[in-house]
Amino acid sequence: MNLIEEFNAYRSKMNERIMDSDNLVIKRFFNLDTNTYAEGALEVKTKEMIGLACSMVLRCDDCIKYHLGKSHEAGLGRKEIFEVFSIALVIGGSIVIPHLRRAVEYWEGLEKQGNV
């Protein structure tokens, strides 16, 4: 199982278990989170880039992976993704670098895999 499959499998499995817990606040939060990235005044691409950059400055590897996957699905290309990386790096500083390394590895995994 590669990086991408591993991430998605664990994510799906645990999200299900969280939903099973029947905590209403958590369920509503997850629902709201999904709605946040739906097309509105901004298109999905733009929202995903915003989600990606925020995940990088907050240094959340799993969030980065998730938004990289969605950005790839939305058709964003390498040049655009690296510009998002560059903004996050300048805003968040050198502590973003270790997350950038893992982000580049994950992104290149997505490129190799192609569109599914």
- How distant, in Å, are the alpha carbons of 4, 52, 103 from that of 64? 12, 6, 7
Residue 71: closest CA among 89, 56, 57: 56
What residues between 39 and 98 interact with a second copy by CB under 8 A?
40-42, 46-47, 49-51, 53-55, 57-63, 77-80, 82-98
Contact present, 57 and 92 (Cβ < 8 Å): yes
- Residue of the chain from 9, 75, 101, 111 that contacts a second copy (CB under 8 A): 101
- List Cα–Cα distances, 58 to 51, 96, 111, in angstroms: 11, 8, 24
Binding residues with a second copy: total (CB under 8 A): 64
Residue 9 found at the interface with a second copy (CB under 8 A): no
- Interface residues with a second copy (CB under 8 A) are 10-11, 14-15, 17-18, 21, 23-26, 28-30, 32-33, 35-37, 40-42, 46-47, 49-51, 53-55, 57-63, 77-80, 82-98, 100-102, 104-105, 108
